[in-house]
Amino acid sequence: MATFNETFEKLKCFNQEHLLAHFSNLSEFDQNQLLTEINSFDFGQIEKLHNQSLHQSNQNGNIDALMEPVPIELFGSVSKSNADDKAMWEAEDGNGGLYKALTHWKILDDMERRGIECTHVHCVDNILIRIADPRFIGFCRKMQADCGAKVVEKSAPHEAVGVVCKVDGVYQVVEYSEVSEDTACKKDKSGRLVFNAGNICNHYFTTDFLKKVCGSAEDLPHHVAKKKIPHVNENGAIIKPDKVNGIKMEKFVFDVFKYSKKFVVFDVPREDEFSPLKNAEGAASSSPTQARWALTSLHHRRIVAAGGRVEDSSGCIVDPQDCADKSKEYPISCEISPLLSYDGEGLAALVEGKILKSPVYLDESSHTPVNGSTTITN
């Protein structure tokens, strides 16, 4: 194991010697662990990736002229009828690390052994995710796609979601911060945004496609994200900055779109399929309250569509709420287990013509009310 002095000289070459500022305050065990961890890093490679990422970020200023919307023939739809100061630290490599992990843990080998032809990949923060959505997978299979993406229509030009589009003839996701005001606001003849396919990190891949891209995982670009990074100052105090003080380099799961030979997009209603949980309670968007609201609203609408109604604790019938004040809790509580109904199918036999009293929870043990009862479950 490298000594303290050897490690210090190594860090000094990269202006990172502050990592040892509180070395003397650690136990002997923690000191050895820190030295081992620091010496496991290839700081030269990290610096190279950092410089490459910043260069790529600067090149994005010319991206507008290369952008094209996804061709309409590749669109499916649920509703369709017609950095100067640098500091280094260890972190996860973003959701783009999936591809390296599939190979490292021999998951692709297992998929092939089990005869799995395709897979559904999604982020874990979306409470409305429809796992293995048969409509999405069926559309991708029908189109003989090797790669597909679910999208929602952007709610505004500057909504903080990336856009699925073509750039210089290749499909990719362009972050909202990478395009100009004019491009973000550009509209078609119908008044809709030209670049409106909002990425929600919800994808379809064939196993053959994954085998191909996993072999190129090391070639995926690193993206630069400016962050407010908590740190320890020279006095050993934990600092939580209120301004950006560093960058994070990560790979994204959608960076493999460019390798697709047949790429398709599937447009879905936001209110049914996208409500990410990203922020703490009280935040203006993507909070726990808003996630609960989205799920309760969806299940409430399914009950009403099946012919049922729900009353609150005071006995008043409540209609489904879509656009009310989402900073407050939904006016009633109801939840439908996916073991009972995936998309509202089969609910009519349980709820049609009935008034259910909040809180309502329907699962596979629920049964049709008898003797005129107005409540299935509380």
In 3D space, the residue among 353, 342, 259 whose CA is nearest the CA of residue 304 turns out to be 353
CATH architecture assigned to 288-362: Ribbon (2.10)
Its pTM stands at 0.79
Cα–Cα dist 47/370, whole Å? 70
pLDDT given for residue 122 in this prediction: 95
AA identity, residue 132: A
Cα–Cα dist 86/218, whole Å? 23
Mean pLDDT of 140-167: 94
Q: Is 200 in contact with 273 (CB distance < 8 Å)?
A: yes
3-state helix, strand, coil in the chain (%, to 5): 35, 20, 45
Mean pLDDT of 223-246: 83
Lowest-confidence segment of 158-162, 292-296, 331-335 by average pLDDT? 158-162
In terms of phi and psi (left: phi > 0; alpha: psi -120 to 50; beta: otherwise), the region of 372 is left
With 0-12 CB in 10 A as exposed, 13-18 as middle and 19+ as buried, what is 144?
exposed
User: In angstroms, what CA-CA distances link 303 with 322, 343, 348, 370?
Assistant: 15, 11, 8, 18
The string of DSSP codes covering 182-210 is HHHH-B-TTS-BSS-EEEEEEEEEEHHHH
pLDDT digits (tens, 9 = 90+) for 159-201: 888 999 999 899 999 988 778 889 999 999 999 999 999 999 9
Query: Does the bond joining 331 to the residue before it have cis omega, within 30 degrees of 0?
Result: no
- Using DSSP's 3-state secondary structure scheme, residue 74 falls into helix
User: In angstroms, what CA-CA distances link 220 with 53, 68, 103, 214, 295?
Assistant: 11, 22, 15, 10, 35
DSSP conformational letter for 264: E
Give residue limits of the domains in the chain: 4-41, 62-273, 288-362
CATH architecture assigned to 62-273: Alpha-Beta Complex (3.90)
Say what percent of the chain tops pLDDT 90.
56
pLDDT given for residue 214 in this prediction: 92
